[in-house]
Chains A and B, each alone.
Chain A
């Protein structure tokens, strides 16, 4: 199980990356943490002409807080995000999700940007970025673009990033005072990709859910913002009736796919169970605050 031949460039500037992406297009792969790319190379599932190693590009590193948002550099390692006081204070949803991401050795090397750019439908970070209404910043020879998370995830490993672009950073609005976050996932073993999952960010006033963003992952081809369920929740007291309405709305919101973990019916069932649990937890959190 040895990787096929490819060329390798250790990029020393973004301009160089842009140039190579322009030249090689889809035959190039960006090598960030490599925790998803290298397995596919070792298994010969992917045979790129060239790997563009961005690990030495300092401008892609770091986590910083700014005007109402946190900037997470594409090369921030999962371990850095997990340990970051900025993330813990300003993006509790991501902090809560991080322990579910793989295992220590993978978190030490895998990158936040890589996870978001790959858009694995069972990955945690794309769901969190979407739940928090983040913005993806991509860049290429043609310039920089900012893409709202809602427009970024387009399908199975499909995103709005063009082949000649690279994700450079993710900007996530700081979670506002008075909001709560709950992250739940079901994985058969700790650190596995989930078989169902929910990233929930809500503003709860008293017993009323003023508004909430519910993002479901691992059950279909991309993280899904459940607009019907969110509408059923907005401005409602969290009670049995609301619970039924929200859970009912998921039938239309979600389009679960059968895979080796189980059938579509099981996935929908599990997402419904997580919904109830997440909102129970959110309301409890809001009360405790």
Chain B
């Protein structure tokens, strides 16, 4: 535990906390010296490619691999059935914490029934990827196409097609949150507003696709996998179990990761297959998903239809909110994290900033013959926030209030926390009011409204959007992964060591995908220890090197991993001071460490440098009394105890222009004020928010996995699946209200998803603000030109 003095050190003006340090990984990447999985070279590496199902649902009648096996360079052809024999048991993507949830058993590749367009069916391993692809074309498969489940709206219809015979109703999961008097509140309300919202499917499109290089050493029975992953220990556990290799014999290394966004917290059948091939062949096998197969095999997300209602008093006080979510999962619930978190999060967070007492939220998650869905940056939040904030805007309009004023009156005031919101979740350390105040200043809101009015008279239709949010970060073990049974650590850890030179090694379970986790952990450790950043090396992403941890997901790296690092560094500091006390004949409490030197506390008179402590502690231990046994290393773990999540909050503003003739939307400016608690590195935090915003803006305006009636993906190329590019994106102003969480000593809440979670909501609100004179409203995302024109009644 941190002492009062420790906490004071966090606030010191020259502290590493709150300072914009650059990243050493960035310095490497700009020189083209990054090392991603595909850059790892092993002698005699073979390359895997996959034959994937061309049908959304089809029975495999016969597979003939003879011609493929004869192709030049081919080393191995393996069918789904052959792979299944090498695996212990199929995956079942359920968690026990989700009552009544069902999912069908899933093998890494389809065995006799393919259930989505893109499911891997046969693997070819050859000397080169090109040769493997050549041979894939010669694998003959006789298919019996079957009618697929193509739409979530009809998936539950009795007598319709089913995804899996064993799940006759296509129902994955149902859940309801109900405060009990919702119907009464609606019946007694002065005003009730209803709307239905549609959200298209997205996928993560990390620029570096999924990538894996597996090597099995038969002598030592060591399986080493280099893979572009956010969660090395989870991959270790799942691959070990699936392939029947003892977990401690599996080493997972995540080199530089070229973007992940939740995609790379999952396990994928093709990656297991490639690993099985390495074990079968005794040669390293590399699998780099190409962009086309990424679109049909990376997890998808966001496909939801939500009916929402809001009940108001005529004074404009929210009385109740009621939502009904229909969530379109894929063919399996994604193992081991499930495909129902998204719906669950929508229920948890919709209208979460507000003070209403009555809330009912129902979710129905259905299976379809589409790519499995799972966690993608800000899971569920873009949907819940879009729905909640659209309803709030409609409510403000209905009572003739400015949307900001309406929010001011209806948010839970800062001084009311801790409190339990209508969804039944305890929240603390929230700052809605402070964030609104800061946003108004940053936007110069009144001036913007005045400009909007002037331009409107000139036929220029600009919209101003506002969207408040709460964001669940850093999940604890009492919620999902711990209690639900998945092999995913929700605590995290840091081992920190003083080396003989006085240098410090800091090994962390959380991982760095470019957010700057290594730098931030270094800043935390340097502050807590009292050493310079230059004397610390942070090591992450290697299960052989780091203590067991969950990795990076759900904005947890700084919140959980940072606290573990903080506590580990404080523990090492304490040991160093004890040792220094022995050497200096001083009370440890009278000593401090500043810039790598033990000093007298208060006067900062130098006494002994850490290099001396390291030298004596490791080499000259004979100088020490026999009962002094230096370890010079500490490991600390941190987890949430009573809380489901650490929650953050914030508010977005958007300014944009809609062309009512073409339906085109031009983004002009975007603002975010958010409260991620203590900010360790403001520049890195800002860039998390900016990048996250643009990811949300992509979903709001462009991104959409379009399926046809036969459940075939229609736009699985980067030309047709439109991601946001530089020209259309706005400048984004970011500010922080710092209200440290009381859940940890460090006080960091997590920042990685606060942009993505509310950007779609604020843009939808801004578009509808622009369309207000036309009495038109867009309620679907992506908000394509056609959607806008349709709302305007022009097509």
Instruction: Say if the two chains contact directly (CB < 8 Å).
Output: yes
Which A positions have Cβ atoms within 8 angstroms of B? 1-5, 39, 43-44, 186, 188-193, 195, 260-263, 265-266, 269-270, 273
A190, B786: Cβ atoms closer than 8 Å: no
Given contacts A43-B292, A266-B786, contact A188 B795 (CB under 8 A): no
Given contacts A43-B292, A189-B722, A263-B795, contact A2 B130 (CB under 8 A): yes
Known: A4-B137, A266-B663. 4 other contacts (CB 8 A): A188-B722, A189-B727, A265-B795, A273-B661
B757 to chain A, nearest CB (A): 23
A273, B662: Cβ atoms closer than 8 Å: yes
B133, A192: Cβ atoms closer than 8 Å: no
In the bound complex, residues from chain A placing their C-beta under 8 Å from that of B133 are 1-2, 4, 44
In the bound complex, residues from chain B placing their C-beta under 8 Å from that of A4 are 133-134, 137
A-contact bits for B763-795, CB 8 A (1 contact / 0 none): 000000000000000000000111001000011
The answer to whether the Cβ of B574 comes within 8 Å of any Cβ in the partner chain is no
A251 to chain B, nearest CB (A): 14
B292, A1: Cβ atoms closer than 8 Å: yes
- B129, B130, B292, B725: the one contacting A190 at CB < 8 Å is B725
The answer to whether the Cβ of B290 comes within 8 Å of any Cβ in the partner chain is yes
B141 to chain A, nearest CB (A): 17
- B291, B714, B715, B728: the one contacting A1 at CB < 8 Å is B291
A262, B702: Cβ atoms closer than 8 Å: no
User: Majority SS of interface residues in chain B?
Assistant: loop
Task: Report the Cα distance A234→B130, complex, angstroms.
Answer: 57
Could you list some 6 contacts between A and B, CB below 8 A? A1-B133, A1-B290, A188-B701, A189-B702, A189-B724, A191-B725
- Which residues of B720-774 are within 8 A (CB) of A? 720, 722, 724-725, 727-728
B contact residues, range: 20 to 34
Which of A192, A195, A262 neighbours the largest number of chain B CB atoms within 10 Å of its CB?
A262
Task: Report the Cα distance A193→B719, complex, angstroms.
Answer: 9
- B291, B706, B789: the one contacting A266 at CB < 8 Å is B789
In the bound complex, residues from chain B placing their C-beta under 8 Å from that of A261 are 784-786
In the bound complex, residues from chain A placing their C-beta under 8 Å from that of B786 are 261-263, 266
Task: Report the Cα distance A182→B760, complex, angstroms.
Answer: 35
The answer to whether the Cβ of B419 comes within 8 Å of any Cβ in the partner chain is no
B662, A270: Cβ atoms closer than 8 Å: yes
In the bound complex, residues from chain A placing their C-beta under 8 Å from that of B292 are 1, 43
The answer to whether the Cβ of B717 comes within 8 Å of any Cβ in the partner chain is yes
The answer to whether the Cβ of B36 comes within 8 Å of any Cβ in the partner chain is no
B662, A186: Cβ atoms closer than 8 Å: yes
A192, B785: Cβ atoms closer than 8 Å: no
The answer to whether the Cβ of B664 comes within 8 Å of any Cβ in the partner chain is yes
Task: Report the Cα distance A149→B706, complex, angstroms.
Answer: 35
In the bound complex, residues from chain B placing their C-beta under 8 Å from that of A5 are 134
- CB closest residue in chain B, given A277: B661
- CB closest residue in chain B, given A42: B290
In the bound complex, residues from chain A placing their C-beta under 8 Å from that of B714 are 260
In the bound complex, residues from chain A placing their C-beta under 8 Å from that of B291 are 1
In the bound complex, residues from chain B placing their C-beta under 8 Å from that of A186 are 662, 664, 785
Task: Report the Cα distance A43→B722, complex, angstroms.
Answer: 18
- Which residues of B256-305 are within 8 A (CB) of A? 290-293
A-contact bits for B506-526, CB 8 A (1 contact / 0 none): 000000000000000000000
- CB closest residue in chain A, given B47: A2
Task: Report the Cα distance A3→B131, complex, angstroms.
Answer: 10
A266, B785: Cβ atoms closer than 8 Å: yes
- B661, B724, B785: the one contacting A262 at CB < 8 Å is B785
